[in-house]
Structure 1
Amino acid sequence: MASIARACRIRNPAVFVCDMQEKFAKAIYEFPKLVSTSSKLLRATNTLNIPIYVTTQNRSKLGTVVPELQQHLTGPNIRADIDKTRFSMITPELDALLPSPAKGENPIDAILVGIETHICITQTTLDLLERGHRVYVLVDGVSSINAEERGIALARLRDAGAIVTTSESILFEILQDASHTHFREVTGLVKETKEETKEALEKLSRI
């Protein structure tokens, strides 16, 4: 396994949206708040032209990505939209699209949102870390059917080497400087969604 530098700034971001499907909407703890966080992240991601990788779990039975997110998943920065039966997003097809740190290629900084924290998010994180990538799990962007699973999974992932952080923190870390070309657009989005962000954190940061 490649050595992973945990104490460093984000450098090569990519967003991973895991299984945000219609059939899960009523089952997942605080699912609407995951949608609002993911929507904010994707809007910023499209502005910043950051790669996006999307998966669904058994789409024919569990439905497509929820409409609120589909509208943000049509741009040129969509690198993968893959249906799977594997729990991890890192299927052979998606893995082939990622750089290989083992071959000297720059690792990505994978930003994860979606479900379920203790299953697909956990296994995706571990697979990415094993391949030498850095992983940022957004506490206001992941959940499970049972709320109690979240804290246990996030503690495990932090111990494994992932960074557990928030959507607002990651956006400003990507910007780095108020002189960034897209500073006004991203900060405008942050202001526009501040109430949704506050509500998501009030529920989902309790881990």
Structure 2
Amino acid sequence: MPGVRSVGRLGVRGSVLLLCDMQEKFRPNIVHFTDVVSNSARLLQVCRILGVPPLVTEQYPHGLGPSVPELGLGDLRPFPKTAFSMLGAPGLLEALGAAGGQEGVTRALLCGIETQACIACTTYDLLEKGIEVHIVADAVSSRSQVDRLFALSRLRQSGAFLTTVEGAILQLVQDAAHPRFKEIQKLLVHPSPDTGLLSFFH
């Protein structure tokens, strides 16, 4: 209904998964890097099962290296960029349009680094284009936990929804009767590791 504020319900139709700049050179400096990559990889697996298209960027890969192998990109081709926003990567806007099919992309799940930089700039660009943004809080990080948590707070003020990997997965599946649920359930056996988000709510 016109004028009704979105409650942020996730669904497969109209959704895209954006994976931002999880590259080798960032590995030693990003808080909870290993866990953030692992969480992002799990969400990528589920999105592949459900048919949610993924798009990947790399920040100046010539100097900062490729995406880390444990992300599990397979044959996905990352879009190189120098802009902070993922939407500044040449060709990504066109790929985003194609990912949504005839109905277009209406919501984006966002993972990666850094929260106060590339995640923030991408979120603002998406929101200004009318695309609902769901930031997967346990799949984004920064060099500083302070920057990470303040950025999440700021982005929530701007209208982005915050979720977790498991929360996003279950919202996408929606029903235990889903024909692929048993397969996806195996990816949820172990809870996501603690990445220091509880302090965000204190």
Deviation at 1:89, TM superposition (A): 0.2
Corresponding residue for residue 73 of structure 1: 73
Q: Which runs of 5+ in 1 are unaligned?
A: none
Corresponding residue for residue 27 of structure 1: 29
Q: Per the alignment, in what secondary structure is the counterpart of residue 37 of structure 1?
A: helix
TM-score, reference length from structure 1: 0.86
> Cα distance 1:8–1:137, how it changes in 2: closer, same or farther (>3 A)?
closer
TM-score, reference length from structure 2: 0.88
**In 2, Cα distance between the equivalents of 1:59 and 1:205?**
33
**In 2, Cα distance between the equivalents of 1:8 and 1:37?**
21
Corresponding residue for residue 157 of structure 1: 155
> Cα distance 1:107–1:43, how it changes in 2: closer, same or farther (>3 A)?
closer
Structure 1 letter corresponding to 2:197 = L
Q: How many residues align?
A: 192
1:23-102 paired onto structure 2 within 5 Å: 23-69=25-71, 72-74=72-74, 78=76, 81-91=78-88, 92-99=90-97
1:101-116 paired onto structure 2 within 5 Å: 105-116=103-114
Query: Quick check: 1:6–1:163 contact (8 Å CA) kept in 2?
Result: no
Structure 2 residue 194 is the aligned partner of structure 1 residue 200: yes
Deviation string, structure 1 residues 146-202 (Cα, Å, up to 9, x no partner):
1101111111111111001111001000011111111111111111x32xx0x235x
Q: Which runs of 5+ in 2 are unaligned?
A: none
CA RMSD of aligned residues (A): 2.0
Query: Quick check: 1:88–1:124 contact (8 Å CA) kept in 2?
Result: yes
Structure 2 letter corresponding to 1:130 = E
Q: Per the alignment, in what secondary structure is the counterpart of residue 98 of structure 1?
A: helix
Structure 2 residue 134 is the aligned partner of structure 1 residue 136: yes
> Cα distance 1:37–1:55, how it changes in 2: closer, same or farther (>3 A)?
same
**In 1, Cα distance between the equivalents of 2:57 and 2:116?**
17
